[in-house]
Structure 1
């Protein structure tokens, strides 16, 4: 029973819940980035490079059975080993876009933090013995030596 109570306290802590929310939002954001890359960016890049579709770039590493279409999906279904480097290019572009978007978000957050500077710290309190020594020094300034 003690272990269940500890686990419940751990699971209910704010950090775990914040982490779970972050993972869920991150997964949804990843899907959005995948869609932006595959549906918006890669077609434009493909158009620039001669209507090239990166998702279908691959190298066949094995023997292709007779009658199998030379598409990535058909080769994978037939169990033919393929090096799908086009998929890697797409995932790499996804990563760089996601990293750039996160960079821009962090940059904006930092800019907002800098626009509201923290108040200056209060001056240090002078110890009482120093204050008394300064008063003695100031009172002795007007006197002549030996008087």
Structure 2
């Protein structure tokens, strides 16, 4: 029974729930970034470089059977080994954009957080000897 209770305590902690929400939102956000990269940025980059479609860049590593479509999808369907470096470029750019956007979000959140007021420094602790000397001094002044 102890282990089940420990698991319940762990599962309902705020950190676990926050993590679950973060993973779900991150998955949805990843799809948005995929669309931004695939549908908006990569076509622009391809147009600047020379109308390249990075997703179709590949090198054939094996023998191609006769009558096979020479596209990446056709070669993969035929089981031909293909070095699809264009897909890697797309994923790498996707990652860089996602990392940059998350950096900007965290930077903004940190900027918006109110700084905690600085704690006042604790008064210096006066030793007992000093207190006694002050008491003697004050009694002599009277």
TM-score (norm 1): 0.81
Relative to structure 1, the CA distance from residue 18 to residue 61 in structure 2 (aligned partners, 3 Å threshold; closer, same or farther) is same
Relative to structure 1, the CA distance from residue 8 to residue 52 in structure 2 (aligned partners, 3 Å threshold; closer, same or farther) is same
Q: Which residue in 1 is equivalent to 2:11?
A: 11
Q: Which residue in 2 is equivalent to 1:96?
A: 96
**Unpaired segments ≥5 residues, structure 2:** none
1:120 has 2:119 as partner? yes
CA displacement, residues 47-83 of structure 1 (integer Å, 9 cap, x when unaligned): 0011100000000001111111111111101000000
Q: Where in structure 2 are the equivalents of 1:77-96 lying within 5 Å?
A: 77-96=77-96
Which is greater in Rg? 1
- Determine helix, strand or coil for the equivalent of 2:89: helix
- Determine helix, strand or coil for the equivalent of 2:99: helix
Relative to structure 1, the CA distance from residue 132 to residue 109 in structure 2 (aligned partners, 3 Å threshold; closer, same or farther) is farther
CA displacement, residues 80-124 of structure 1 (integer Å, 9 cap, x when unaligned): 0000000000000011111111111222223234x6352332432
TM-score (norm 2): 0.84
User: Cα RMSD (Å) of the superposition?
Assistant: 2.3
Relative to structure 1, the CA distance from residue 123 to residue 7 in structure 2 (aligned partners, 3 Å threshold; closer, same or farther) is closer
Q: Which residue in 2 is equivalent to 1:29?
A: 29
Relative to structure 1, the CA distance from residue 67 to residue 109 in structure 2 (aligned partners, 3 Å threshold; closer, same or farther) is same
Deviation at residue 14 of structure 1 after TM alignment = 1.9
Q: Which residue in 2 is equivalent to 1:145?
A: none
Q: How many residues align?
A: 140
